[in-house]
């Protein structure tokens, strides 16, 4: 008989949540946002509600391509409504990924 040891499961080092601010919802990323963190977000995220008007990257230490794709996807409804979502305080490394991917024009960057 096989048994499962839950303590052996590697937990992701990042987190994503959606917070309400006066200007509208803000997608907040923290730590290392990679495929595992995005998969958890996709599995638990309710699609109801308004789209994020900003993405807070001030506590993000790493963002992979799937993380960037999530940021673009989650803010797409705001762009369709004529609003340019903000990228708040991206690190130099995250900003470089955004620029290399050609996603810079999709956002207003706030230092």
CA angle 48, 23, 27 (to 5 degrees): 50
Q: What is the pLDDT of residue 4?
A: 40
Residue 36's domain comprises 12-110
Whole-structure pTM value: 0.85
* pLDDT, tens digit (0-9, with 9 covering 90-100), for 1-23: 444 444 444 556 899 999 999 99
Any domain includes 6:
no
The mean pLDDT value for 45-59 works out to 87
Which 8-state DSSP code applies to residue 5?
A: -
Any idea which residue has 């096989």 for tokens? 2
Q: What is the pLDDT of residue 109?
A: 85
Contact 52, 80 (CB under 8 A): no
Q: What is the pLDDT of residue 6?
A: 43
Any domain includes 94:
yes
The mean pLDDT value for 53-63 works out to 95
CATH code of 93's domain: 3.30.750.24
The rounded distance, in Å, linking the Cα atoms of 48 and 87 is: 22
């Amino acid at each position: 008989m096989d048994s499962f040891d839950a303590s052996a499961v590697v937990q992701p080092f990042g987190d994503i949540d959606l917070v309400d601010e006066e200007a509208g919802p803000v997608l907040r990323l923290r730590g290392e946002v990679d495929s595992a963190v995005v998969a958890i977000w996709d599995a638990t995220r309710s699609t109801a509600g308004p789209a994020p008007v900003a993405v807070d990257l001030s506590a993000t230490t790493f963002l992979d391509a799937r993380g960037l794709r999530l940021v673009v996807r989650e803010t797409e409804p705001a762009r369709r409504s004529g609003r340019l979502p903000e990228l708040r305080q991206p690190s130099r490394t995250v900003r470089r990924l955004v620029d290399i991917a050609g996603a810079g024009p999709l956002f207003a960057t706030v230092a």
